[in-house]
Structure 1
Amino acid sequence: MFVFFYLLLAYLKFVLSEFNATARPRKPIVLERSGGFQIGGKIIQSPFNPNFTLSCDHGYMEYFVPWRPRKTSLVMWHSSSTQVWQNRWDSGPGYKDLFLRRNYPIYLWDGPRVGRANWPCQPTSYTPSYQDQANFAAWNFGPRYPLWWPDVQFPVADAAAWQHATSARYIEYDTTANVELQASAAAIAADSGKVGKEIVYLTNSAGGLRAMLTTAKANNTNIKGIVTYESIGYVFPDNVNVTAGTGGFGPVVVPVKQFKKLAQLKAVQFVWGDHRAANYSYVAESRRVAELINSYGGNARVLMLGEEGLKGSTHIPFADLDNEKVAGLLDGFLEDAGLDGYVDEDAEDWSDEDR
C-alpha cells in the first residue's frame, strides 16, 4: 500500500509540474513601478484674452520599470502607434513584454500631436485617405495587396490579424515641421534624466529619422544608442552636398558638429528585412549615413535580417511571428555595446537566473 501511494504521489507531482510548465511557460513580469508623464511643449495665450492659455505640443511617455532593472532604458518610438511595440501580429507578446522579461526599463513614446499627445498648438484637420490597401505594400507584407510574400512572418490566414494591424494606427503629420517638433520634445525628455542616463531608441519607419535628429539636438549625453527598424528618412551633415527634403521623410541636414553626436553613441544599427533590395533608396541612404558616422569615429552598422537567416520579415519585424529571433539579435547588439548591465551588479540576491 505504501508503495502505491508513493507512486501515486510521484505521478501527481509529475502531472502538476507538466501542467504548470504548459500553463505558465514564461517568466513573470515583475514591475517596481509604471506610469506616464507629459514633457516638452509650450503654453500659448488666447489671441482674444491673454488670461486664457493652452498647454500644448508636449510629448507623452508611458513607462514600465522592472523590479530588478538594467541600466539601459529602451525607448520605443513608433511610426504609426505604440501598438506595434505591444503585441505581435497574432497578438502574442511584443517587444514591450519581451524586453521587460529581460529586465530592461521600457518607455513608450508618443510625440507631439499624435496618440496620447494629440493636443496641438495649431489647427489641424483630418480627411479620410482610404489607405488600408496602401498599408499592405508599405509595411512589406507583399509586393501589392493582397499578394503576400510566400514566406511572410504574418498570420496570413487570420483576417482579423490583418484588420487589427491596419486599424492600430494614429493620425500622423509627416511634415518637416512635425519632425522638428517631435525631435525637440524628445531631446528635452532625454536631457531631463527622467528616462534614465543610458537611453537606446528602438524606432521604426519615420521614427528613425526623428530619433537621429533628437540625438543631434540633445545637449546631454544620456542617449547611448539607436536601433532603427526599416528607417524611412535620415540625418546628414551639412558638408556632404545633400539637399534637405521638404517633406516629412528627410533628408534632414544639420551642422557637422550636431551630426557628430551620432558618432559619440556607443552603437547605431540600421535593420532591414530580406524583402528589401540592396538598391532600395532608403537602404542605400542607411549605408551612406553609417559610413559617415563611422568616418567620425562612430560605431554604425547596417544589418540585413536575411543575412542572419531570418526570412519573410515585414516592415515591422519586431511584431513578426519570429520576433523572438529578431529580439535575440537586439540582445547581441546591447551586449556588444556594453548596454546590458544592471543598476546594481553586486546585489547578492540577484542570481544568474534573474538576469
Structure 2
Amino acid sequence: MTKLCHSALVLFLPLLGLGQPAPDPWAFTHSNAEKALVLSHTGGFNIGSKILADPRRPGQTITCDHGYFEYFIPLHSPPTYLRRKTSIVLWHSSSTQTFQNRWDGGPGFKDLLLQRGYPVYLYEAPRLGRANWACKPHRYDVSYRDQDNFAAWNFGPSYLSWWPGLQWPEDPAARELSWEQATGGRYVEFDDYEHILLHAQVAAKGAVHTEQGEERDGVVYLTSSAAGLRALLTATLSDETIGKIRGIVAYESVGYIFPEGHNVTDRKDEPFGPLVVTREEWKRLARLDFVQFVWGDNRPEGGGSLWEEMVVQSRRCAELINEYGGNAEVVKLREDLGLVGNTHCPFTDMNNEVILGLLEERLRKSGLDGFEGRVEKGKGKGKGKSKVRR
C-alpha cells in the first residue's frame, strides 16, 4: 500500500489474464501494478438497526438487525483522477463476494467500476454476512445443493455438463477452482417475506445515507438473483428515496413485484413472490430513471420451469413500469446482443468487461455517468434498447 498525495490509497488488483488458461490456478492472488486503483478513502457503516430490551434483565439491550455497507470512494483530483456523481450499490441476496472477483479470480465489478471513477458500496443485508447480528434466533440447516446449483446458476443443463462456449476458463485446474469459489462464496440466504421486507427497508435507509453533498447524484442498485426482488420493493417503500435511488439493474432477478389491479396474485408465502403493491407504491418505482432486467445465455421463456417463468415475469414487470410512465427494459444477452456463454451471474464471467459496457451504456443514456465538477448537458431519462460494444 503506497501513500500518495491527498491521502490516496493505491490498491493493486489481482488479475488473471482474460481468455487465457492459468498455468497456476491461484494466479489471481498476484499483484498487478498496471491495474492500480487510486482511492480517496474506504470504510464501512451499519444502518437501520433496532434496539431490543432483554425481558429477563431490566436495563440490558441488544442492537441488532442492521445492514452493513462497505464503501470505496475513488480519488477526485482533476485532471488526472475524476470521480463520478452516481454511486453504485452492489447487492447480492447471498454474498458480496460475487462482485469482488470473477469466479476465475479476474477483476470483479467492484474494481472495474472503481477504475471508471464510480463510488462503490457493497451491501450486506440484515442477518447476512457481516450484518448477521439478528434480533431473533434462526436455525441453519445444511442443504446439499451444489449439484442443483450447477444448473440453477446456468453453467449447464445438469451437473458438470457445461454449456458450449461458456464464459469460464477451459483449463481443468482453473475451472475446478472457479467452481469451488462459486459454491463457497455464499452465506445463509433467507427467502421469505419477513426477510425480503427487512432487507428492503434497510436498503432504503442506506440509499438516503449514501446520497450526500451537492455533487452527488444518487445511487444505482446493481443486483443479482433474489436481490432484484428486494431492490424493486425498496424503491416502492417511501417518498424519501425518490431522487436518491436513480436506477436498478437486476441480473437474472428471481422474483418480481406488480401493481394491484393487474390480475396478479400476491404470493408473500412463496420465497420469490410475486409481490403485489398499491398503485401509489408502484408509481415510486416508475419514477426511477431506469430499470433494466438482464438475462444470461440459455434462458428460454414460455415453458413451465422456474427460470422460464421468471423471464416472462420480468417482461410483464417492465411493461407495467412503462405503462405508468417509467423506463424499463429486458435485455437477453444472446438474443438481443449476440453474447454467448453467460451464466446466472454474468458480472462474474470472463467477459465481464463486456457486460460492464452494457451498464455503462445504460448509465450514459440516463445521464448518470457524469463527473463531479462538470456540467453535463443534453442528457436525461433516455429510453430505447441498450447496446454494447463487443
In the superposition, the TM-score normalised over structure 2's length comes to 0.81
Deviation at 1:153, TM superposition (A): 1.0
Q: What is the aligned counterpart of 2:314 among 261, 278, 286?
A: 286
Of the two, which has the highest radius of gyration? 1
SS at match of 1:29: strand
The residue type paired with residue 243 of structure 1 is T
User: Is residue 211–residue 218 contact of structure 2 (8 Å, CA) maintained in 1?
Assistant: no
Find the counterpart in structure 2 of residue 349 from structure 1: none
Contact 1:229 1:317 in 2 (8 A): yes
- Contact 2:87-2:219 within 8 A present in 1 as well: yes
- Contact residue 37 and residue 114 of structure 2 kept, 8 A: yes
What is the Cα deviation at residue 310 of structure 1? 0.9
Paired position in structure 1 for 2:231: 211
More helix by share: 1
Q: Which residue of 1 aligns with 2:325?
A: 297
Deviations 1:273-308 (A, max 9, x none): 121003210000000000000001111000110021
Deviation of 1:241 after TM superposition, in Å, equals 2.1
What is residue 149 of structure 1 aligned with on the other side? 163
Match of 2:55 in 1: 47
Q: Do 1:188 and 1:218's aligned partners in 2 also have CA atoms closer than 8 Å?
A: no
- State the match for 1:186 in structure 2: 203
CA separation of 1:193/1:97 partners in 2, compared to 1, >3 Å: closer, same or farther?
closer
The superposition leaves residues 21-66 of structure 1 with CA deviations (integer Å, 9 ceiling, x where unpaired) of: xx96845311111100000020001111231101011100000010
CA distance in 1 between counterparts of 2:358 and 2:130 reads 30
Distance 2:98 2:186 in 1: 9
Which residue does 1:257 correspond to in 2?
Answer: 280
Q: Aligned equivalents of 1:32 and 1:75: distance in 2?
A: 18
1:36-75 correspondence runs (5 A): 36-68=44-76, 69-75=83-89
1:223 paired to 2:245: yes
Match of 1:117 among 102, 127, 131: 131
1:1-355 matched pairs, under 5 angstroms? 26-68=34-76, 69-156=83-170, 157=172, 158-194=175-211, 197-220=217-240, 221=242, 222-245=244-267, 246-279=269-302, 280-306=308-334, 307-345=336-374
Matched-pair contact (CA < 8 Å) for 1:38–1:61: yes
Q: Deviations for 1:139-188, whole angstroms, at most 9, x for unmatched residues? A: 00001101110111122522111111101100111111100010011111
SS of equivalent to 1:30: strand
Cα drift, residue 242 of structure 1: 1.2
Match of 2:11 in 1: none
Q: Name the stretch that deviates more: 252-261 or 204-213.
A: 252-261
Q: What per-residue deviation string (whole Å, max 9, x for no partner) do you get for residues 75-119 of structure 1?
A: 000132111000012100000001100000000000001011001
RMSD after superposition? 1.5
Superposed CA deviations along residues 219-270 of structure 1, whole A, max 9, x for unmatched, are 3220000000000000111121211111221111111111111111111100
2:13: which partner in 1?
Answer: none
Matches of 1:95 and 1:133, distance apart in 2 = 26
2:217–2:368: 8 Å Cα contact kept in structure 1?
no
Q: Report the Cα offset of residue 193 of structure 1.
A: 4.3
- Post-superposition offset of 1:130: 1.2
Indicate the larger mover: 310-319 or 212-221.
212-221
- Aligned residues of 2:210 and 2:219 also touching (Cα < 8 A): no
Gaps of 5+ in 1: 1-22, 347-355
Matched residue SS, 1:287? helix
- Taking the aligned partners of 1:286 and 1:50, their CA distance within structure 2 comes to 50
SS of the aligned residue for 1:216 comes to coil
Q: Percent identity?
A: 52
Output the CA distance in 2 between the equivalents of 1:90 and 1:239. Answer: 46
TM-score (norm 1): 0.88
Structure 2's unaligned 5+ residue stretches are 1-30, 77-82, 303-307, 376-390
Change in CA separation of 1:193 and 1:35 when aligned onto 2, cut-off 3 Å: closer
Q: Secondary structure of 1:217's match?
A: coil
Seen in structure 2, the aligned counterparts of structure 1 residues 57 and 194 have a Cα distance that, compared at 3 Å, is: farther
For residues 136 and 227 of structure 1, the distance between their equivalents in structure 2, rounded to whole angstroms, comes to 23
Size of the aligned set, in residue pairs, is: 324
CA distance in 1, matches of 2:89, 2:101: 16
* Contact 1:271/1:305 (8 A) holds in 2: yes
